[in-house]
A = this chain, B = another copy of it.
Amino acid sequence: MYYIGVDLGGTNISTGLVNEKGEIICKASAKTLGSREPSEIAKDMAQTVLEVIKNGGISEDEVHSVGIGVPGCVDNKQGKVIYTSNMNFSGFNLVPEMQKYINKPVFMANDANCAALGETVNGAAKGHSNVILITIGTGIGGGFVYDTKIYTGFNDAAMEVGHMTINAEGKKCNCGRLGCWERYASANGLIELTEEFMKENENTLMHELAEKTGHVSGRTSFDAARAGDEVAIKVVDKYAFYLGAGLANLINIFQPEMIIVGGGISHEGDFLLDRVREYIKTNTYGYGMIPNTVIEKAVLENDAGIIGAAFIGK
């Protein structure tokens, strides 16, 4: 059988035909144009589904199910999107709408959860059954795969790990809460941290790099630190501390076999992750006395969401 995964993003709809091994056979995509009516977007999503069936050279009979990764919260029992932050899908009955075009079971899950499943099926955590993926972007998304299934909580809204406080009396998050992990350890958190250090230290390589690129980015401190800039190394160390604080919490809570770190900042690789691993050693329960969680970089990039979505209904 084959499985179809649709990654519904704010910019693009990315759809893939996936085989039993979790390999993408072919892809199709469309612009989301997120301000449109959800029924129009759903029609385009269905179109990409039909396209991969055709381009994959298979019949509809060979398709087991279709899965959709939604940037928000879903209710699979009712086939309804509960809410999405940047589109108009809140309250929309997406499953029946999709089934107007394709006569297959359609499932939904949060997109970060799908990415976690994708990395477990055929990515950095292949072969493991108890895995957390965190995706570091403007916020921090998370997914927990347990017994090779997405853990959703009783209301399909679990793993909002970005809104775990690591500093209960700290900086205010967009969500209203104080000290959320993503307030410190997201790409935005890193940029803010970089700017704070740059303000206090007027002559650093970070200033040069930021001037060259026209802005401070998530790479500014890492590039300068790699070149030996001491203040930048402090920024990276502090960032690793904040990232580690949340990861150590997740280890003390879940003791997963693996934590996979994805998103743009994960490209910093072991320069970042070795610092995090060092923090984990002294900040997790029973470290060294029990088998320890392995922390690795994600490998599938955007394909993780497609593969994971495809396997929701498997």
A283 proximity list for chain B (CB < 8 A): 165, 176-177
**A164 touching B253, Cβ below 8 Å:** yes
Give the distance in Å from the alpha carbon of A169 to the alpha carbon of B165 in the complex. 12
Q: Is A233 an interface residue (CB 8 A)?
A: no
Q: Which of B158, B167, B257, B286 contacts A253 (CB 8 A)?
A: B158
Q: A173 to nearest B CB, angstroms? A: 10
Within 8 A of B (CB), among A125-174: 130, 142, 146, 151-161, 163-169
Query: Does A242 touch B at the CB level, under 8 Å?
Result: yes
B154 and A130 form a contact (CB under 8 A): yes
- The answer on a CB contact under 8 Å between B166 and A166 is yes
Q: Which of A203-211, A244-252, A299-307 contacts B (4 or more CB under 8 A)?
A: A244-252
How far apart are the CA atoms of A169 and B166 in the complex, in Å? 9
A123 within 8 A of B: no
Cβ 8 A contact of A242, one of B83, B168, B179, B292: B168
CA distance A161 to B253 in the complex (A): 6
Query: Contacts of A67 on B, CB cut-off 8 Å?
Result: none
B253 to A73, Cβ gap below 8 A?
no
A245 (CB) vs chain B CBs: closest residue? B168
Interchain CB contact under 8 A, A155 and B73: no
Q: Which of A82, A164, A248, A254 has the most CB of B within 10 A?
A: A164
Least CB distance, A273 to chain B, in whole angstroms: 18
Q: Say whether, besides A254-B158, A255-B155, A291-B154, A285 and B167 are in contact (CB < 8 Å).
A: no
Q: Report the Cα distance A158→B130, complex, angstroms.
A: 12
Q: What chain B residues lie within 8 Å of A245 (beta carbons)?
A: 165, 168
Question: Which of the residues B159, B164, B168, B242 comes within 8 Å of A241, measured between beta carbons?
Answer: B168
Nearest residue (CB) in B for A184 is B168
A132: nearest chain-B partner, CB-CB: B253
A256: B residues at CB distance < 8 A: 153-154
- CB neighbors of B among A249-295 (8 A): 249-250, 252-257, 282-286, 289-292
Given contacts A168-B242, A177-B283, contact A257 B82 (CB under 8 A): no
Q: Which chain B positions have C-beta within 8 A of A130? A: 153-154
Report the nearest B residue to A292, measured CB to CB. B155
CB within 8 A of A157: which of B164, B257, B285?
B285
With a cutoff of 8 Å between Cβ atoms, the chain B residues found around residue A158 in the complex are 253-255
CB <8 Å contact, B83 and A153: no
With contact pairs A165-B245, A253-B160, A282-B176 given, residues A73 and B289 touching in the complex (Cβ less than 8 Å): yes
Residues of A within 8 A of B (CB): 73, 82-83, 130, 142, 146, 151-161, 163-169, 175-177, 179, 241-242, 245, 248-250, 252-257, 282-286, 289-292
Q: A73-B286, A165-B283, A167-B167 are in contact. List 8 more A-B contacts (CB 8 A).
A: A82-B286, A142-B253, A152-B255, A153-B254, A154-B256, A155-B290, A167-B168, A168-B245
A-B pairs, top 8 by smallest CB distance, nearest first, are A153-B255, A168-B245, A160-B285, A158-B255, A164-B249, A154-B257, A155-B291, A160-B252
